[in-house]
Amino acid sequence: MDVLTALSNKSDYSKNQLQLIVGAWILGSLVEKKAKISLTNGDVAEEDYDKGSLYSLLYALYRSMGDVRDEHGKRYEFTFNTWGYTWPEAWGPSPTKSSMPERYGQNAYAGLYHFKEVQEYVAARDGKVHVIEMGCGTGAGANWVCGSVLPKCTYEAIDMQIAGIKTCQRKFVPNHNGRLKATHSDATRLSIPDGAADFVAVNETHVTEYAGVVTAEDERFFKTAHRLLKPGGYLVWGNAIPDATWKPCFAFLESIGMKVEEECDVTAEAVKARDEDKARIDTYVDQCIEAFHAFKIPRLGGKRRLQAEIALKNFARNPGTNLYDNMVNRTDTYKVVRVRKTP
Ligand SMILES: C[S@@+](CC[C@H](N)C(=O)[O-])C[C@H]1O[C@@H](n2cnc3c(N)ncnc32)[C@H](O)[C@@H]1O
């Protein structure tokens, strides 16, 4: 069993199923010709994994772990699948406190709406704006925005992973009196009518990953964002992606009737967040490894344990991993951008 490619985005695996899947992955190391996960820095080549399988595994893992401890012993459920960043001083007072375990993810979502023009747009509608999020994960960010950032908005959160959407429906939708809806769909194949959204939010959604190119999926993604927006509405987009990919993405957006009005580079703040978050991520990974019995199988279990540890840390861009180094040397840059659909 190859957990990087074999799992389905239409399944929400139970803890028992995950135990079996991890066991099968460990036994699979007997026949693996070449390790896909680098033990040096956790790198996995793009062609060696499928994002449907990867996030299916991660969201089932987050849910099955339930409440975990942060590095100070505070209990929380790991739900933000977000690197995020420390709040830039130039943006004014921070919306989060140091006691909040997932504050960097919360900053990233609040940051999508920090722009003066966005705040004016919201104020002009007395806060009653409609947001569509493409790639919401578990909906942790949607919950934070509905509760604290845009407390009068309505919000449709969309992800291709049923496991993430089920977490949103269980944990977050009930908090908002019908204002938050969670939808399981590929965000490029939505039947939502044209012009439904004041804002399309894209936060660290796993698209635009290939250096220097806009793929066919990326094009479909941006065309959908354009279609969903009201004229004059905003695409608010934050992510750490290959630096060489921003320019072609902006050119494509401009070619379909969008104007890239503002871009903020928060790469330094994103690196700082990963430094400050390292102890929490290390503590989380330890708890995950401890929860899966098959890692205790002599020899084979130990080998896969090291791979699982470094891979989880790499996906979190923890210091010492490939994805962290990519931000430090600016192969990947983290930007927050405001793009307007031509009124
Ligand atoms: C790194 S996670 C970020 C999730 C969430 N935005 C957050 O910040 O916690 C990337 C997400 O993008 C989603 N995704 C990627 N391509 C997608 C698509 N075409 N349609 C819907 N979701 C997609 C994945 O399923 C995954 O949940």
pLDDT digits (tens, 9 = 90+) for 268-309: 999 999 999 999 999 999 999 999 989 988 888 888 899 999
Q: Say what the pTM is.
A: 0.97
Q: Distance between CA atoms of 314 and 281, rounded to whole angstroms?
A: 10
CA distances from 12 to 67, 205, 259, 266 (A): 18, 20, 39, 34
Give, using CA atoms, the residue closest to atom 14 of ligand 1. Answer: 135
Ligand 1 neighbourhood includes 160 CB (under 6 angstroms): yes
Nearest to 172 by CA among 182, 158, 162, 187: 182
Q: Is 218 in the pocket of ligand 1 (CB under 6 A)?
A: no
Residue-wise pLDDT tens digits, 209-232: 999 999 999 999 999 999 999 999
Residues spanned by CATH 3.40.50.150 within the chain?
89-267
Atom of ligand 1 nearest to the CA of 82: 8
Nearest alpha-carbon partner for 265 in 233, 235, 243, 234 = 243
pLDDT of residue 303: 87
If one residue of 104, 159, 223, 315 were mutated to test the ligand 1 pocket, choosing by the most ligand atoms within 8 A of its CB, it would be 159
The tokens for 142 are: 């949607």
Among 155, 158, 160, which residue has the most ligand 1 atoms within 8 Å of its CB, making it the best to mutate? 160
CB of 204 shorter than 6 A to ligand 1: yes
Please check the confidence at residue 124 and state whether its pLDDT lies above 90: yes
Number of Cβ within a 10 Å radius of residue 23: 18
Q: Is the CB of 209 under 6 A from ligand 1?
A: no
**186: number of Cβ within 10 Å:** 17
Tell me whether strands 197-203 and 229-242 are parallel, antiparallel or unpaired.
Answer: parallel
pLDDT value at residue 47: 85
CA of residue 272 to ligand 1 center, whole Å:
23
Ligand 1 atom with the smallest distance to the CA of 186 is 20
Atom of ligand 1 nearest to the CA of 217: 19
Any idea which fold 89-267 has? Rossmann fold (3.40.50)
